[in-house]
C-alpha cells in the first residue's frame, strides 16, 4: 500500500472557496488542501424509498477534490496524488491514470473533472488548459483558453450534448476579478468564449481583501446554470437562444461559521482574504437522480443536496438528500460520499436517494 500524504488541519467546507482565493492571491499551493477534521457519520436507514449504500475503500485515492458521473461511471480528481480515479456506478475501482508533471497529459493538482461520451476532462490548478483523456486514461488533447484570459484557471466543468462548458476565473488584480464561460464543442475543436463576466465582476479596492468565492456550474436541459455560493446567485443561459436569466437563492437561512474557524482562517490569510461570518449558501450544483440540486453546507462537517425547481425563481421543492458528510458529490444515479480513512479513501454511493 502506498504511503498516504499527511493530513492537514482545518475545516473541509472552505476547499472550493480557497481554490479561487488561492488563484486570486497567488499563495502557496499547499494552502488549498484543507483536510477534514474527522469523518462525519451520517445516519442512513435502508428502506424501499432509500436503498442501502454501496461502500468501498479505495487505497489508491489519497484525496477527493471533486467527482463527476455520467450515470455509469464516476471519475475522481485526487490532488494529493496528482491522479484521476475511475469507478463503476457502485464505486468499485476500475483504473487510475495520470502522472505528475507539466508536460503533455501530465497532472499537477487535478481539481475538477467531467465525463461524457467516452471522454474524461480534467482541470488542473497548475495550468490553464483542460486536459482531455479517453475512457482508458490515454491522453488525447489539451484544450487551450480562448483569447483574453490565457492564464486564468478553470474552476468548474460541465459536460453536455453541446460539448464541454468551462468556468474560468480571470484575475485582474489589484482591481478586478471576473468569471467567464467558455465552451469546447467537440474533440479537436478550439475553446470559444460564450459569455464574459458571466456571473459577476468583483471590484477589489487597492490594498483590500479579496472575497472568498464558491463558483459552480451545471448543464441542464439545453441550458447552463452558473452559480456563486457565497452570494447565492445564479445566471441561467439558454444555449440555443442566448437569452439569460438572473436570480438569487433565498430559500434557506445561512449557517454561521464557528468563531474559532473564522479566527483560524483570518490568521492564516493575514488580511488578504475577507473571511465571511457564515457558511456559503451552496458549494456546488449538479443534476442528481434527474433533478436539479445544490450542495448546501449544514455545518463545517455536514451537508445536504437540496432539490430546486427546474426554472427561475430557483426555490426549493422541499426534497433533499442528507444529512451527509461534507465531502459529497451529485450525479445522475445518486450521491457519492467520500471520507478520509486510514487505509484509503472511503467511498459510499446512495442510488436514487431522494426522500419521499
303: closest CA among 1, 70, 80, 11? 11
46 confidence band (pLDDT: 50, 70, 90) = very low
338: closest CA among 7, 14, 76, 89? 76
Q: What is the mean pLDDT of residues 315-320?
A: 85
68-96 burial by CB neighbour count: b if 16+ within 10 A, else e? bbbeebbbbbbbbbbbbbbbebebebeeb
> Checking DSSP bridges between strand 284-288 and strand 291-297, what pairing results, if any?
antiparallel
State the pLDDT at residue 322. 84
335 confidence band (pLDDT: 50, 70, 90) = very high
State the pLDDT at residue 2. 52
CB 87 within 8 A of CB 96: no
Q: Cell match 472568498: residue? A: 212
Tell me which of 192 and 232 has the higher pLDDT: 232
State the pLDDT at residue 189. 62
Q: What is the pLDDT of residues 241-253, one digit of tens each?
A: 888 888 887 767 7
For the chain, list the domains and their CATH numbers: 12-41+52-351 (2.120.10.30)
Q: What is the pLDDT of residues 15-33, one digit of tens each?
A: 445 444 444 443 222 223 2
| pLDDT tops 50 at residue 36 | no
Q: CA 174, CA 170: separation in Å to the nearest integer?
A: 12
Total Cβ atoms within 10 A of residue 113:
27
Tell me which of 144 and 10 has the higher pLDDT: 144
39: closest CA among 326, 349, 336? 326
State the pLDDT at residue 5. 55
| pLDDT tops 80 at residue 164 | yes
Q: What is the mean pLDDT of residues 140-145?
A: 90
* pTM (two decimals): 0.84
CB 315 within 8 A of CB 350: no
State the pLDDT at residue 349. 87
Least confident of 39-53, 90-104, 217-231: 39-53
CB 283 within 8 A of CB 303: yes
336: closest CA among 35, 158, 76? 76
Q: What is the pLDDT of residues 172-214, one digit of tens each?
A: 666 677 888 899 887 656 677 777 655 455 666 666 677 788 9
| pLDDT tops 60 at residue 286 | yes
| pLDDT tops 60 at residue 347 | yes
77 confidence band (pLDDT: 50, 70, 90) = very high
* 3-state SS track over 41-62: CCCCCCCCCCCCCEEEEECCCC
Amino acid at each position: 500500500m502506498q504511503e498516504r500524504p499527511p493530513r492537514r488541519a482545518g475545516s473541509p467546507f472552505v476547499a472550493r472557496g480557497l481554490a479561487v482565493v488561492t488563484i486570486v492571491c497567488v499563495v502557496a499551493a499547499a494552502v488549498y488542501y484543507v483536510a477534514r477534521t474527522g469523518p462525519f457519520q451520517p445516519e442512513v436507514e435502508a428502506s424501499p424509498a432509500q436503498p442501502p449504500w454501496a461502500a468501498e475503500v479505495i487505497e489508491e485515492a489519497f484525496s477527493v477534490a471533486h467527482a463527476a458521473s455520467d450515470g455509469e461511471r464516476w471519475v475522481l480528481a485526487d490532488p494529493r496524488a496528482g491522479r484521476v480515479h475511475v469507478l463503476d456506478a457502485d464505486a468499485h475501482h476500475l483504473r487510475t491514470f495520470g502522472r505528475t508533471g507539466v508536460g503533455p497529459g501530465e497532472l499537477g493538482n487535478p481539481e475538477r473533472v467531467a465525463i461524457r461520451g467516452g471522454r474524461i476532462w480534467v482541470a488542473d490548478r497548475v495550468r490553464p488548459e483542460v486536459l482531455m483523456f479517453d475512457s482508458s486514461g490515454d491522453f488525447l488533447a489539451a484544450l487551450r483558453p480562448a483569447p483574453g484570459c490565457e492564464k486564468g484557471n478553470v474552476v468548474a466543468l460541465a459536460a453536455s450534448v453541446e460539448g464541454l462548458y468551462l468556468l474560468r476565473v480571470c484575475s485582474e488584480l489589484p482591481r478586478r476579478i471576473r468569471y467567464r464561460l467558455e465552451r469546447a464543442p467537440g474533440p479537436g475543436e478550439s475553446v470559444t468564449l460564450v459569455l464574459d463576466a458571466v456571473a459577476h465582476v468583483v471590484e477589489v479596492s487597492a490594498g483590500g481583501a479579496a472575497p472568498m468565492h464558491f463558483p459552480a456550474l451545471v448543464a441542464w436541459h439545453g441550458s447552463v446554470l452558473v452559480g456563486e455560493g457565497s452570494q447565492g446567485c445564479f445566471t441561467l443561459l439558454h444555449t440555443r437562444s442566448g437569452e439569460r436569466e438572473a436570480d438569487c437563492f433565498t430559500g434557506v437561512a445561512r449557517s454561521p461559521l464557528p468563531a474559532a474557524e473564522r479566527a483560524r482562517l483570518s490568521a492564516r490569510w493575514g488580511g488578504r482574504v475577507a473571511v465571511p461570518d457564515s457558511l456559503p449558501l451552496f458549494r456546488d450544483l449538479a443534476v442528481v437522480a434527474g433533478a436539479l440540486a445544490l450542495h448546501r453546507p449544514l455545518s463545517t462537517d455536514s451537508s445536504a443536496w437540496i432539490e430546486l425547481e427546474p426554472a427561475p425563481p430557483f426555490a426549493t421543492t422541499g426534497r433533499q438528500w442528507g444529512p451527509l458528510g461534507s465531502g459529497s458529490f451529485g450525479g445522475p444515479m445518486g450521491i457519492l460520499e467520500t471520507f478520509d480513512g486510514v487505509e484509503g479513501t472511503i467511498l459510499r454511493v446512495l442510488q436514487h436517494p431522494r426522500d419521499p
